[in-house]
């Protein structure tokens, strides 16, 4: 056994064990420097397929590829030490069969070193979740607003407004939990419905635009940092990085133009 220093990360069973306990802190990350900063305070870092929209400028997550997820997953693993890292399986790489889902998930885990994957879970998903979990792949499910299905759902809108859809969301969450998911993301539903899901399942619910009563919360990090002017209404901006970056770039541009810029060979050292 090598003497290499090994720092234990949180595990999927540990996250499951937090059901009804201390709230689970989760955020998304897509690169190593951001993962390094989040790692001190997050139990779980999700390499979300939101990367397509917030990093690559796509209008939906539908165009995200497995290769993109692997590249960003590798970066997040390099930047973090203690959080559980979960990587999203993107649209088109898992829905049609459990075998296909296994191949995609195994490749993601092998090539990134992440410890779990997330899939958006409609009624078809229970068989796939059980298949993956039996074969050693921890799965986080995702119910409510499922962004990969936005073309069927009609856009990024809150879900569960009719009794029929609300019941389906509860049933999907129960099926995902019974199939062996270690946690379930509940996105874009009323607080009442999110609380109902939280009561109905024996695994932690991770809310996003759902309810403070969920077992944990997740946000898309660039949204909560104020990197974008327009964010969904439920998102609290904990910083306003767009303004900070604009001011810094303006100051830089002014210094370059006035030839006041200080860098030279004498100062080309890393502290
Ligand atoms: O892709 C993503 O960032 C997500 C979160 C919104 C939960 O799925």
pLDDT digits (tens, 9 = 90+) for 214-254: 999 999 999 999 998 788 889 999 999 999 999 999 999 99
pLDDT, the chain, mean = 94
Which residue has 């993956």 as its token pair?
A: 132
Residue 260 resides in a domain: no
Structural domain containing residue 152:
12-240
Look at the chain and report how many structural domains it folds into. Answer: 1
Look at residue 5 in the predicted model and tell me its pLDDT: 54
Look at residue 259 in the predicted model and tell me its pLDDT: 86
Residue 44 resides in a domain: yes
Global confidence as pTM: 0.95
Residues 252-266: pLDDT tens digits? 999 999 988 777 777
Mapped onto helix, strand or coil, the DSSP state of residue 22 is coil
Task: Name the residue of 29, 87, 143, 147 to mutate for ligand 1: max ligand atoms within 8 A of Cβ.
Answer: 147
CA of 30 to the centre of ligand 1 (A): 11
Ligand 1 atom nearest 118 alpha carbon: 8
CA of 264 to the centre of ligand 1 (A): 43
Structure-token pair, residue 31: 């690169």
Residues 179-208: pLDDT tens digits? 999 999 999 999 999 999 999 999 999 999
Ligand 1 atom nearest 147 alpha carbon: 8
CATH number of the domain at 58, please.
3.20.20.60
Which listed residue (187, 192, 242, 255) is catalytic?
187
Look at residue 118 in the predicted model and tell me its pLDDT: 98
Look at residue 104 in the predicted model and tell me its pLDDT: 98
CA distance 85 to 122: 23
Based on the residue annotation, tell me whether 67 is a catalytic residue of this protein: no
Residue 250 resides in a domain: no
Point out which residues pair with 117 in neighbouring strands: 87, 139
């Amino acid at each position: 056994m090598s003497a290499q220093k090994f720092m234990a990360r949180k595990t999927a069973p540990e996250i499951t064990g937090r059901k009804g306990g201390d709230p689970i802190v989760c955020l998304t990350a897509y690169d190593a420097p951001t993962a390094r900063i989040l790692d001190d305070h997050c139990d779980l870092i999700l390499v979300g397929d939101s990367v397509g929209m917030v990093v690559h400028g796509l209008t939906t997550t539908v165009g995200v590829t497995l290769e993109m997820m692997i590249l960003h997953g590798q970066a997040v693993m390099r930047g973090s030490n203690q959080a559980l890292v979960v990587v999203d399986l993107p649209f088109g790489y898992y829905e049609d069969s459990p075998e296909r889902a296994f191949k995609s998930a195994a490749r993601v885990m092998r090539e990134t070193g992440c410890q779990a994957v997330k899939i958006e879970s409609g009624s078809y998903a229970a068989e796939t979740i059980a298949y993956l979990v039996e074969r050693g792949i921890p799965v986080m499910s995702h119910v409510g607003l499922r962004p990969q299905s936005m073309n069927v759902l009609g856009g990024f809108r809150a879900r569960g407004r009719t009794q029929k859809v609300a019941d389906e969301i509860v049933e999907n969450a129960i099926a995902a939990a019974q199939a062996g998911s270690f946690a379930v993301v509940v996105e874009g539903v009323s607080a009442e419905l999110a609380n109902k899901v939280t009561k109905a399942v024996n695994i932690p619910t991770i809310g996003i635009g759902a309810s403070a009563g969920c077992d944990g919360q997740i946000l898309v990090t660039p949204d909560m940092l104020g990197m974008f002017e327009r964010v969904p209404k439920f998102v609290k901006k904990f910083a306003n990085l767009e303004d900070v970056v604009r001011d810094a770039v303006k100051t830089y541009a002014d210094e370059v133009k006035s030839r006041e810029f200080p860098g030279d060979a004498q100062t080309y050292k890393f502290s």
